Amino acid sequence: MKHDNIIRIVDMFTSAENAQNMQDAYFVTHLMDTTLERVLREHRKNSIQVLNDSQIKLFTYQMLRALKYIHSAGIIHRDLKPANIAINVDCDLKILDFGLARQAEAEMTGYVATRWYRAPEIMLNWRHYDKKGML
């Protein structure tokens, strides 16, 4: 996927000399400063507003823009949470970690989304959900 708000793999390498010895793979992506989870944790810890209203609006816009792109391709992320949203000092946002992402199907597997970020409809009807439950 190629979108400004989705993390892109720039390069990949391994330290192994050949495929038989390969145990680790390393992915190179664009450098991002932190995750939304860390920013929110800082907010709770210090009881200060870390993000201003303009930043919140910009991050929301970028998230929705990325989700529209992903969903238009028929993909459901299935683990969208603050830890999987990277941000930088320029207020750029990128969605990370597509390890649980799947092509949208009539019946989906049950293990999706970190428990605390699951939509109620997924908790109650975990085999039949769609992209709406991932917003």
Q: What is the pLDDT of residues 5-29, one digit of tens each?
A: 999 999 999 888 888 888 888 999 9
Among the residue ranges 4-18, 39-53, 56-70, the one predicted with the least confidence is 39-53
d(CA 87, CA 59): 9
Per-residue pLDDT averaged across 119-130, rounded? 58
d(CA 49, CA 35): 16
Task: Enumerate the active-site residues.
Answer: 97
Task: List the domain boundaries for the chain.
Answer: 9-102
Given the candidates 1.10.510.10, 1.10.10.10, 3.30.1360.200, 3.30.413.10, the CATH classification of the domain at 9-102 is 1.10.510.10
